[in-house]
Chain A
Amino acid sequence: MMERKELETQVINMVATSYKQDAAKLSMETLFKEDLGGASVQMVALVAEIENELDVELMLADASGCASIGDLVNLVEGEL
């Protein structure tokens, strides 16, 4: 089972890639809409990346419903 911290780091790196952000500036508290201003197309790319790398399947609607990166990590953790 992957450690929580390790999962957080992985998800942050994937968020950084999908949203073209500096990973160092992202945290569990970073908000998708308010801080990253991303459209659904970035969230879809992020979910695809998570599915490719972490071998889980997420409901896209659930992922889109995550307010913060922390929420998304919780969602992924629940599926692992």
Chain B
Amino acid sequence: MKWSKMKKYLTPGQILLYTLMILIMLTMVVPLLNILAKSFSDPAQSMGMSGLEIWPRGFSLLNYQVVFSNNLMVPAIWNSLFITVVGTVLNVALTTTAAYALTRPGLLFKKYIMGFLIAMMLFDPGFVPEYLVIQDFKLMNTPWSVILVTAVNVYYLVICMRYFEAVPVSLYEAATIEGASHLRIYAQIFLPLAKAGVATLCMFYAVARWNEYFRAGIYLTSSSKTTLQVILRQFVVSGDTAAIIGAQNLLNYNEFAKVDYSALKSATIIIAIVPILLLYPIVLRFYTKDLMAGAMKE
């Protein structure tokens, strides 16, 4: 950057603003890096690690070894992945088809259907009535309870309708005149043209699925069906150390007694964050592109 340009930035107000923003970013980045550093630290050295250190003390994979040697952990990760993948596919399939139908001009009863959906969004039946329905449908202790109970989010459906409304009407009309069926128009025109929106939608749903801990904790009663977030919660929030190491391991391995629980927690948290970090670029690419396009206009 040229100095003359730099000088424009260096007003006291701008310096104050940049300092404030950098501080805010540090509060978000430092705790995450600290946890990452702890998880890769040598357990013998990580015990007294401060919350501000962002570089591992020594290097060791022992924390991850311990976490993965818990025989509940690997199935729990698979369960989480299954629920996330199948659940997201279901979410996106239902949301996009419904959004397509609801954005077609001249759909009968559209007003009533939208009213119904908005009412469903506003009124929350509460935990017990929903629990009883899951019981009645015999879905308890199957992943389908968690997958089906959050199949469509009205808020995301409305967002998807906005995306589909942005598809040029002329394309739709031309396709109709050509005699293309609704399914074909949906699959070959709307999905590709609203690609960015659908990708964002996928990401939102997938993150919500991966982060689901509450319903999974209630509906998946046996430990073989449980998910990563449920185990994480038992360990991190409820402080149940047996949950993370596995009761069997606690008895078998004396050397695990030396392990630093705080570092183990960190390793579990990192495992739970990694899929989100993998999905995050998608949202940035599609979601912030609009914002950036807006910014460029200035």
**B is a partner of A:** no
Report A's interface with B, CB cutoff 8 A.
none
Report B's interface with A, CB cutoff 8 A.
none
